Every structure is written in C-alpha cells, then in structure tokens.
Structure 1
C-alpha cells in the first residue's frame, strides 16, 4: 500500500489512532470530474444507451445524488438531482449488495414496482459499486435505458473497465487526503527516513501512470476515424464477422489489406495538411466501391482494408485487386501539386485462409508485409506467411507476461569522451531473456510492444530502472553521470510526458542534466506540434535531447531546422565501413562538421576498431560508443569494470 512504510513507523509511536479520513468531505477536482464526464459520454455513445451516471451517496442527509450525467439525447437525469434513500432505487441496491445489478426490464419484475426511476421511464439498468479504499461507498456507475435492454457482456465489461478507472481516481483522492493528515504528523518527526517518503511518491507516480494508461486505452474505444469518416479496426471486425456468418457456400469473402507506401515522405515534403488531404481524397475514391457486399475501413495511418463477399471465381478476385491498385496509384492533385504514391497489398480469403474476421485481417496484413518486402504489387497469403504469423504469435504470447515474470532487464554500454578517454555515462539498453525463446533481440519485440500497447508499461519500467541505477552510480562516483534512454513514439505522445519525467527525476534525486533522452525520426513524424512542444519542455528542465540514428531517415536535415537538439548520434551503418568506403568517410566527416557548426555534440556509435576510433578523433568527434570501448553489460559488471578503481 501507498503509506505502508509510514504507517508502520507511526503505529510504533501510537500516532495513527489520530488519523481518520472523512470521505464525505473529499471533493472531486475539476480535472477528474471532466475526465469522468468524458467517460460517461463515451460509454453512452458506444453502448447506445440514453443515460450513463455516476451517483454519490450522502448517508448523513439520507440522499442519493446524481454526481455526473452523460450529455446524451433522452437522458432525464441532471447533475445534482437527488432522491431520498429507502425508496427502492436501483443504485441503493447496488451499494447495499456491493455487486453488479443488471435488470433488462424492471417492468417484468414486481420487486421494482415502486422504484422512482420508473417514473422517469428508465426500465433497464446495469450498475456497479464505487468504493473508497476504506470500503465505504462513494456511490455507483450505471447505465439506464427507457426500453428493454439486456446489456451484453462486452458492454458490461466496458463499464467494469471504467469502474476500475474511477476507483483508481477515488484511491488517489483518498490517499492524498490521508497524506495531508500524515504530513501534519511527519512535520514533527523529522527523523522519518527518506525512503519512506520515496515510497509515498512512488505510489502516487504509479497511480498517475495507471491513469495515463487507462486514458490511453479510452482513445481506442471509438469506432470511426475522424479524418476519413471510415470505420476503424473495431468497427470493421464487427461488420466483417456478420458478413462471414451470412456468406453462402457458393461465395467467398476476399480481404484486401493495402497501404500507401512511404507516406511519411508526403508529410515531410508537403506538410501534414497536404498529407491529411491525400488520405481524405483517397478515402473518397474508395467509397465508390462501398455497397451491401463491400466493407471499407482505415486501419492505421495510411493502411486500409476492403472486404467483399462474391462468387468463387479467380476473375472476380483479380478484377477487384486491379481496381483497388489502380485507385491507389492514380495521382493526387492538391494545392498545385501532382503527387503519386506507390502502394502494396496483401490478400486473404474466407474460408480457405481463415474463418474469423481477426484471422483474416492478421493474415492479409502479413501478406501485405511480404509484398512490401519483395517489392511486388500484391501477395496472396501462403504457408510462408503463416510461418511468420506463428512466430509473431509465439513472441506476443510470451511478451505479455515478460515484465511480470522479470524476464526484461537492462544492460549498460559505456559512453566515452574521445578527448579525455573518460567514461561519461552509459546508454540503457533493454534486453529480454525468455526461458523458452532464449535471448530475444530488441528489434524482434520492441515493435511488437508498440503495436499491442505494452510499450507504455515497458517504457516506464526502463525509466524507473535506469534512473534508479544512474542515481546510485552518481552517488558512488560523487560526480556527474549521464544516462541515455531511448524513448518510443508511443511513450513520447503520452499526456504530460515532460511532467512525468520531471517527477521521476525528483523521485530518484537525479539532476536533470544527467539525463539524455534519445528519440528517432518516428517520434517526429507522428505529430510535429506535439514533438516540438515536448522537446521544448524537456530542454527547459535541463534534460538533453539526442537525435538517434542520424543520417538514415528520409528528412534528417529538415529535423535539424525544425527542432532543437543537444546531440546528434551518427548511425552505426556509416561507421562500420569507414576503412573500406570513401563515401561513408565523407558522410561521417560531413555530419561531424555540421554538428560542430550547429553547436551540437556528436556521438559515433558502433565503433569497433582502432582505425574507426582514429578517424572520428581526427574529425574532432566528441563521444564514442561501441564494442571497442565496451560491450553492453549488466549493472554489476558495468560498475566493476568502469566505475571502481
């Protein structure tokens, strides 16, 4: 628990007897209330039910109050509406029984004849209790309908997910209230050890992280894409499942998974406004194929899916494939520009390749990846593609529990000052060892974690572990120690990312100048405004920002113009062939010189030979990283090899 260590200390001194929290006096801040309001509105939209409420009980006044109410059509409840307890309210029963109450139609159950909600026409109900951490009731979260409504297990599970989020908020408010009482006692106990206070801070940060993860999951709940108006993945799966059920024995369902390749170059060359217009115009082209036998959806970014039910003939397949590819490859005319974008496509069919909507999407997507790799216009799903999917499934099934099973860990590679040959710090490198799979390379599981949403939790693990280790080494050396940490695009886009980093540095008592965050062009491609704002906030704190893998991206030079960096990191592909390739030598020389002109520090990574070391030193490169100076190693070995005399 959050205050466990502090409570043990205070119990020894018989001080906790004075600590009590009156939950009736705890106020819900505006930002949390607004988050609840958005949640209720979203549930009402998804479930298609007119009223979604958060109720608060006031036992002292013998009242049940509408604390928050969805802003939906047909909702008769308004905030602050209240009624006396003891009248047989749905919510009063939920609180009394402390469990879910689901009533598809109260008119069919005489136990609810006197329920005041019937006067408002609300005959269907599904509600869950909301409790404070001391198990006293806050109230309920519930859904109501003015017609018979047997809420599905999916919708009840969705309500339970948001119940958990609200309870997490209540726990935070409760702990903050209790923390205020504790602080009054702690002020007179200056000898309380600092790690007990750190435990309090850690719990608060963890709760913020959990709330951030819940809010992030909320973004995926909507069914339609705002830009194109097309359904997204969840809506497509529901519709495709229905299409498969209705398919006749003489018919097949063909799923085309296709994407506009190198779409990021459009955003880089013409700007995001033009890029959005291309996607919007492209979606309008696709809609001409929309009919009762055809489904269209935007899956992600510049990737789309068309699913069509038709007779089992090869001519039908090729005709549809050709039409869609021609649609993709036709030039776009926008703002005086004529833009042509290459495309690639993967095809999977029901029932020969798969029998469920999810499998068809997975297999057609895998086939598209093959077509992209082989440079062909389209690829049908085959056995080789199946092998790739099975390998991905195996990785994903083990990755789900990797963090809980303590299979993920960090290695550290030294960062060397080329002028003094002194170890300045280290880069934290994530590693995964699984008992079944063995050592799994990062390039095999990092992208997988990005796609399945685990990267937020894994990224927080890396931040906590690396910063705690850096703080230990800085105290050990009694001098500055720089720790470099790679940040994923999904982490970087998380709400209040800069503030979260500041909280962690305070928690581990590490100066901001000791941290360097490494970002790639993937972060910069996602949201230019967000990237610029986050970089500015982080640098204002004193945190260094490094552009990783410089020289390999499509528009690396344009990034130097748009964003403020502290460090350039030359990609290892230039360093590897320095002895043999004159072009690589000239490019490396140019990058170092450009970095110096822009007052940036330059790091060469992947240095493995004395010849490479001599070259980058002769060009006045600032730092080196690679096997020549030290391989990635465990924290204990790093400390033994580089930090102890």
Structure 2
C-alpha cells in the first residue's frame, strides 16, 4: 500500500528519531471513534458476519476497544482478557501478519482457543500498529459457523486496516506535534519544516481515507460477487422509479434457487459462487438497461420493471428456462430449480421495501406449494401471517412437551397379524389445537428445528419399539419417516447405529421411510447413506411411490427394501380401473425386483381383498387400525398378542 511505504520511510526520518511518545497515553477522539464504529457496523453488514472488532493491547491485557452493533455479537466494549492464553489476536500482534482460521474446531492449533467458549470458531484478523512499530491491537471479524472469508472481504478488511493505521499515524503525529511545540519552541525554522511535513502527510491521509470511504460506499450498495446492486441499492433505485411524476405499474419479481445450501454443502462454496455468477449473467441477457436487477441475499434475486400486458409471464418463463439448462462447472453438471414470487405497484403497495417483502412472501408460497411462480394476493398475506403464527408457537413446542407420537398398525396380509407400526408425529398446542403434520413439518425444516424434532421422534419411537419387542417376545418392526435435512448429515448412519445400540433394538426391527425430496437433494449422499444403513441391517422404504416425477428412475439408482403404494391409488381402487391397473403393476414390478410392498390408506374390505389377491405383502390403513398413542396401541395390539 502507498501509505505503508510512506510510513516506513517516515519512521527513519529525523522527525521521529529523537522523540519518544507514550502511545498508551494517546486517546482516540470521539469523532474518530464514532467513525470507526460506523465502519465496523457497515463491515459487519457487508460481510454478513456477527462480530467485527477493534482490539487494543496493553502490557498484560487485550480488550475490546469497540465492537460492531450486530445481532449475535457476544463481544461488548471494554471486555478484556489476560494475555498468554493463546488468543487469535495475540498471534496477529506477535507475528504482525494476517491470521485466517475458517474453523477452529477442525484446526489442532486453535481448537482450545478461548473464543470458542463464546461460539466463535471462524476468525480473520489484521494488526494495527503505531508509527513507532508498537502495537495498538488488531482489527478482526469472527463468525459462529465455519467460514472461509472471501478474498473480496479480506481485501475490504485490509482497506479499513489502512485507514485505521492512517488515523493512528495522525494521532501519533498530533501527540508528537504537541511535544515538538515544547521542545522546539525556540527553533521556528525547524518547526516550520516539521509542520510542512506533517501537513503533507495529513493531506495524504485525508486522500487515502476518501478513497477507502468511496470503496466502502460502493460495497454498501453493490454485491461484490456478482457486481449487481444489493438490497439497499435496489430499494433506493426502486424508490426513485416509483416516485416519478407519472407513476406506472411496476412488477417486482423475486426469485430464488431452491435447495442452494445443498449445492454449497456438496460441491463447496467455490462452485456455489460460480453458479450464482453464471445465473446472474444468464438473467442479465434477458433484461433491458432500464430494468432493475439485484442480488438480495444468498441465492435470491429481484427484478423491477414496468409491467407488460401479459403480466411478465413471458419473462417469468424465461427465468425458469434459465434453470432448465444445467450449470456445468468443471466436472460437475448441476440442476437447480427456481421459485418465483411477483408483487405489483401500486396495486399491492407503493412502498419499495414493502413491495420487495411482498414479492418475497409470494416466492415463499411458490416454494412451499411447488409451483413455478406465485403472485402476491390477500390470500398470500393471510397464508404468511398464519405461517408466522405457527412458527412462533413451534419454536417452543419441544420444550413445552407439545409434540408426541402416535402409532398405526402394519399388518401382514398373509398371516393377518400386526407385525409392527409406523410412528406418526403429532403436535397439540394449547392455543392452536391439533396442528396437522403437513402444516408444520415444512416449517421445522425451514427454520432448522427438524433436526431436534427428528431426534425426538427417533429416541421416542426406538425406545417404544424395544419395549414392545420384549413384551411380545418377538421382533416388532417400527417405521419412521426421515427428513431430507436429517438424511443429509454425513454421520446419519452412525447416529442411527448408536441409537439402536442404546435401546438394544436389532437393526432389522427398524424401517426408515424416505421420500423423493431426499433423493432430489444429492444423489451421491443418498446412495452412500442408503448403502451404509442397509449394511447395518436397516430396511429402507420409498414412501409415496408413484406420485413423484422420477419414481421409476429411482428404482434403477437405489436399492430399496420396500415400496409404499401411495394412498391416492388405493382410495379409488373400486371406482377407477386405471388405479387398479397401476396398483397391480406396482406390486408385480416390486416382486420382480425382490422388494416388499406396503399398501397404505386401506379403508374397505374390497380394497383389502384386491391387494391380497395381487399378493401385496403388507397393509396399513383405518381398516386395520387408526393411529393411537402408545398406551392405547399397547392395549389394543401388544398386550393381546403377548397374552396369546
């Protein structure tokens, strides 16, 4: 950096050679401190990291000089720690270099770092130094999750480091100037020369700071990865467009890439970032220069432009077509579906922030319902409000013991005996009443609760199955539905193995039911996990067979033990000849592939007779037994069998 070179030269000049300044006594003025605070807050927002800090060091301690006012930041001003405990910042200061630790938990050099107690496992820091080479402290950013800070963000941190070192040089020079006024009181010519030098340096610092502020201002309004405006820049431009003297109808199209997190998890952030760049370039080619286009957050984008007569349906279809063409990155070919929401000004609102929010709400409906796109309506608003209400109560459902399991019998059609049960999750809230699973499971997956809820289901169901197995003195099969987020865990098979050992339940007593959603996430992870589970002796069932887009292709790629015929085929067996023929075909195909077949939703004797005649293995439905809690299930099906 130019300033750094100038500073090194200045340190060897006569001006600094015979004067000692006690830097510990130099105070940072309030105006400068406030400027630092504002820049820390801005950095935290741009980098999307919970903590950005300026640390100051003394002989024995290091303390938080100022801290970003960001959500989730555990560091407060004046927090301090004694030196000598292996802090990140100690290494930065002692070695006078950048330190970048993506995940301290995975780094043997940093896995005992004191900051881990505060949840901070990712770190990137730079030294701050007075002109006399003594340490002021550090400038650093931290995250509570694994984080490989990008080159752009580290460069931004370095620019702020330069500004801070320039400020420190200015303060140092000011302190020295005060000293010079005393020492060199009788030497006007020398003092004039010194003042001229100082003025020159100060002008350089002002110019340097102006350049840095310009860079920060750019990053405040633009996305570093794609070069597109960010949320702030987009809303500002949209506000100008909506404030025109002759207002026109403006469509805001909010669209996002589905399941993009699984791309980052499976292929890495380098591939994920490349896809975002390619996707934004594809969309740019569809748009005119007058159309506003921005990256809002993560894998979500937004467009605003004057309405067409067709309500922008042609553009919406073009956006979807962009994703129908796979992304080829190196050796990977990746397909990522898109979901789209549309809001219109002034019909829905003329406030730019609210317009973006409503378009985003419409996109959430598109994602939840699996439709290509969705327009914002009053029903959308009502749906979102209901969703928020459910989500607010779901947060404490486990803690308040509102979740429970019911069990529905699984019947062997040959012996007519109850051989097991499917565990079904239920939520009963004192205010909302009984909430159906299809209303809250997707919410739990969205907000991350599904892992805790899934573990609750596994523990409860396996414990209960082990108890019933002992009472029956024979194997009892328990079937459990697994969420895609649970299945994505690379240690999932090991976790299931540990639970079976904990509850002393043989692996062949457990059947895990998976849906098409799991198989769509990542083919390699799905194959590996299914294989690991089956090697343990656990049965894998493909649920809702026949309703997905590629059900037959899954039978080629994966080795299932069981197929579950979706209830939609069984319900209309007596009326619909097509459903009868499809059910026959599914059973016959399963037999050819050496798989068992379960028909779910059996409610009549005629349905039961039909699937028996076709040699279906198992049945499940109201005809054999409705879902019941553990006590009722035991009373109806376990105790009677045990007594016999």
The TM-score bracket by the shorter chain reads: 0.5 to 0.7
CA distance in structure 1 between the partners assigned to 2:371 and 2:488 by the alignment? 34
Task: Give how far 1:295 is off.
Answer: 3.4
For residues 200-248 of structure 1, the C-alpha deviation after alignment (integer angstroms, 9 at most, x for no partner) is xxxxxxxxxxxxxxxxxxxxxxx9xx9x96599xx95565566577777
**CA contact under 8 A between 1:51 and 1:70: conserved in structure 2?**
no
Q: Deviation of residue 435 (structure 1)? A: 1.5
Q: How far off its partner does 1:49 sit?
A: 6.5
Mapping for residues 410-429 of structure 1, pairs under 5 Å: 410-429=405-424
CA contact (8 A) 1:413 1:631 kept: yes
- Tell me which residue corresponds to 2:134: 119
Report what 1:63 is aligned to.
Answer: 84
Aligned-partner Cα distance in 1 for 2:258–2:498: 39
Larger-gyration structure (1/2): 2
> Counterpart of 2:459?
464
Aligned to 1:531: 526
Q: Does 1:542 find its partner at 2:537?
A: yes
Q: Is the 8 A contact 1:241 1:356 kept in 2?
A: no
- Measured at CA, do residues 364 and 118 of structure 1 come closer, stay the same or move farther in structure 2, by a change above 3 Å? farther
Alpha-carbon spacing, 1:123–1:451, altered in 2? closer, same or farther (3 Å)? closer
Aligned to 2:450: 455
Q: Which runs of 5+ in 2 are unaligned?
A: 1-43, 56-60, 62-81, 102-112, 117-124, 145-156, 165-219, 261-271, 329-334
How big is each residue's C-alpha offset from its partner over 1:576-630, in whole Å with a ceiling of 9 and x where there is no partner? 1111111111111111111111111111111111111111111111111110110
Which of the numbers 472, 475, 478 marks the counterpart of 1:480? 475
Give me the CA root mean square deviation: 5.3
Partner residue, 2:177: none
Residues 480-519 of structure 1: matches in 2 within 5 Å? 480-519=475-514
Residue aligning to 1:200: none
Please, which moves more after superposition, 471-480 or 116-125?
116-125
CA distance in 1, matches of 2:316, 2:482: 37
**CA displacement 1:116-150 (0-9 Å, x = unmatched):** 99834535578999xxxxxxxxxxxxx9984678x
Deviations 1:299-355 (A, max 9, x none): 788xx53233x7xx656x97876545445458977899xxx9998743225786468
How much does 1:522 deviate?
Answer: 0.7
Task: Flag the 1:352–1:505 CA change in 2: closer, same or farther, 3 A.
Answer: same
Matched residue, 1:553:
548
Residues 1:485 and 1:349: Cα distance change in structure 2 (over 3 Å): same
Deviations 1:158-179 (A, max 9, x none): xxxxxxxxxxxxxxxxxxxxxx
Distance 1:361 1:563, change over 3 A: farther
Give the secondary-structure state (helix, strand or coil) at the position aligned to 2:452.
helix
CA distance in 2, matches of 1:503, 1:120: 51
Corresponding residue of 2:34 = none
2:252 is matched with which residue: 255, 279, 282?
255
Match of 2:579 in 1: 584
Q: Does 1:305 align with 2:301?
A: yes
1:294 to 289, 292, 295: 292
Q: Which residue of 2 aligns with 1:384?
A: 379
The DSSP-based 3-state class of the residue aligned with 2:400 is coil
- SS of the equivalent of 2:86 reads strand
Q: Which residue of 2 aligns with 1:285?
A: 282
**Structure 1 residues 300 and 45: alpha-carbon distance in aligned structure 2, compared to 1, 3 A threshold:** closer
The answer to whether the 8 A contact 1:412-1:426 is kept is yes
2: CA distance, partners of 1:515 / 1:117: 69
Conserved? CA contact 1:416–1:629, under 8 Å: yes
SS at match of 1:410: strand
Change (3 A) 1:285 1:454: same
2:90 and 2:612 map into 1 onto residues whose CA distance is 66
> Aligned pair in 2 of structure 1 residues 388, 331: CA closer, same or farther (>3 Å)?
closer
Using the size of structure 1 for normalisation, the TM-score is 0.59
Q: Give 1:76's aligned residue.
A: 97
Query: Are positions 1:564 and 2:559 aligned together?
Result: yes
Task: Specify whether residues 450 and 262 from structure 1 end up closer, same or farther in structure 2 by C-alpha distance, changes over 3 A only.
Answer: closer
Could you report, residue by residue, the CA deviation over 1:488-544 in whole angstroms, capped at 9, with x for unpaired residues?
111110231111111111222211111110000110011000000000111111111
Answer yes or no: is the 8 Å Cα contact 1:290–1:296 preserved in 2: no
Query: For structure 1, which segment, 632-641 or 384-393, has the greater mean C-alpha deviation from structure 2 after superposition?
Result: 384-393
Distance 1:641 1:582 in 2: 36
For the 8 Å contact 1:121–1:146, the answer to whether it is kept is no
**Cα distance in 2, alignment partners of residues 552 and 591 from structure 1:** 12
Q: Superposed, which structure 2 residues align to 1:23-34 within 5 Å?
A: none
Residues 261/322 of structure 1: CA separation in 2 closer, same or farther (3 Å cut): farther
Counterparts in 2 of 1:389 and 1:354: CA distance versus 1, 3 Å: farther
Whether the 8 Å CA contact 1:105–1:123 is kept in 2: the answer is yes
Spell out, residue by residue over 1:267-326, the C-alpha distance to the aligned partner (whole angstroms, 9 max, x if none): xxxxxxxx999987654221344979733348788xx53233x7xx656x9787654544
TM-superposed CA distance for 1:378, in Å, is 6.5
Paired with 1:390 and 1:243, the residues of 2 have a C-alpha distance of 29
